[in-house]
Homo-oligomer: A and B are copies of this chain.
Amino acid sequence: MSRYWSDIVHRLVPYVPGEQPALAKPVKLNTNENPYPPSPRVLDAIRAELGEHAESLRRYPDPIAKRLRATVAAHHGLRADQVFVGNGSDEVLAHAFQALLKHDLPILFPDISYSFYPTYARLYDVQYRTVPLDAAFAIRIEDYAQPNGGVIFPNPNAPTGHALPLAQIEKLVAANANSVVIVDEAYVDFGAESAIALIDRYPNLLVVHTTSKSRSLAGMRVGFAFGHADLIDALNRVKDSFNSYPLDRLAQAAAVAAYEDVEWLRSTREHVMASRARLTASLAALGFEVVPSAANFVFARHPAHDAAAIGAKLREQEIFVRHFNAPRIDQHLRITIGTDDECDTLVAALKRIVK
């Protein structure tokens, strides 16, 4: 607290990311990282960019990430002017809140959702109203048929893992022609349908992606927004009023290589999805109720054991999962899909806890 702070700082409620334990070998299932490394081509691309003496690093990176945008646009069947690149999808979302969601009417998002959304809203003084998910943690699109300044939701949703079918998303986008609908698809590659297919028909649709999950590049901070060129233009105007060069040279090179290796993506995500089915079955066998997940995590509760207590006991064994102390979900744990070995370690520990 200080008299030097701008007024807005006093009203902020900063986001708290999942813990990064400083242990040699934690079973780290708390921040939805991929259990597999990025494509080997990523390493080659970074080494090539570094050269013999890292001499390219003295030069600014490409401020508009031309090659990366072209690569990702081609991958998704889009034009480069339909692609925005940012320093992780968190930065992309922040710019979107400022550029596209600040209007007279409040924006809408689910009551159970990415907990960064209310934080962004406070940062830019964006009014918002939360819309309750149904009892099965599903979005009911008819609940969004109310005047609004924008709509944002993750699909699959976080932290539930529940996916909304594309036909439902299209109805929601079509019914909100006067405001921007942002579909935050951080986890889409693990089993949901992407709304990118709708972009050419709906000028009010923005789809946000990240390389942090399915492409194993959480450590490199690269995210995207896809949408009508007018929406991308707004994001670029904010970005160019904030930081000309948000992506360093190695991040751009790494992300290009990750998008070029389609086979690596296919293979690693299939592993994750198979492990998810296996973990879901093991948890169910221990009496957990598991929300059907289309993401690289599961959301589970045990009817006879307090979630925070389970989380604390796991932590004692250097197993980290995420617990949200929030209404409706404080009896759930969000568990990232690790390797089968990591999942087995978790299940063995849970067996001892709930026995």
Asked if B58 contacts A9 (CB within 8 A), the reply is: no
> A341: shortest Cβ distance to chain B, in Å?
15
Asked if A100 contacts B204 (CB within 8 A), the reply is: no
Asked if A38 contacts B14 (CB within 8 A), the reply is: no
| A243 in the interface (beta carbon within 8 A) | yes
Partner of A248, one of B38, B221, B241: B221
Name the interface residues of A239-253: CB closer than 8 Å to any CB of B: 240-251
* A1 neighbours in B (Cβ, 8 Å): 230
Q: Nearest chain-B residue to A18 (Cβ)?
A: B60
Asked if A14 contacts B59 (CB within 8 A), the reply is: no
Chain A residues in the interface with B (C-beta under 8 A): 1-9, 12-17, 20, 28, 31, 33-38, 40, 42-43, 46-47, 50, 53-63, 87-88, 90-91, 94, 98-103, 119-120, 122-123, 178-180, 203-204, 212, 216-221, 228, 230-231, 233-234, 236-238, 240-251, 254
The answer to whether A38 and B15 touch (CB under 8 A), given A4-B179, A20-B63, is no
> A262: shortest Cβ distance to chain B, in Å?
18
- Secondary structure of the A contact surface, majority rule: loop
Q: Nearest chain-B residue to A178 (Cβ)?
A: B3
Asked if B248 contacts A9 (CB within 8 A), the reply is: no
Q: Which 8 A-B residue pairs are closest in the complex by CB-CB distance? A: A14-B240, A2-B230, A6-B102, A57-B219, A219-B249, A58-B216, A37-B55, A123-B241
* A219 neighbours in B (Cβ, 8 Å): 56-61, 248-250
The answer to whether A38 and B57 touch (CB under 8 A), given A17-B244, A87-B87, is yes
Q: Nearest chain-B residue to A211 (Cβ)?
A: B57
Asked if B43 contacts A50 (CB within 8 A), the reply is: yes
Asked if B37 contacts A57 (CB within 8 A), the reply is: yes
The answer to whether A242 and B180 touch (CB under 8 A), given A4-B234, A5-B99, A5-B100, is no
Asked if B241 contacts A101 (CB within 8 A), the reply is: no
A87 to B216, CA, bound (A): 21
A57 to B237, CA, bound (A): 30
> A125: shortest Cβ distance to chain B, in Å?
10
* A87 neighbours in B (Cβ, 8 Å): 87, 243, 246
Asked if B180 contacts A4 (CB within 8 A), the reply is: yes
Asked if A6 contacts B98 (CB within 8 A), the reply is: yes
Asked if B98 contacts A243 (CB within 8 A), the reply is: no
Q: Nearest chain-B residue to A150 (Cβ)?
A: B4
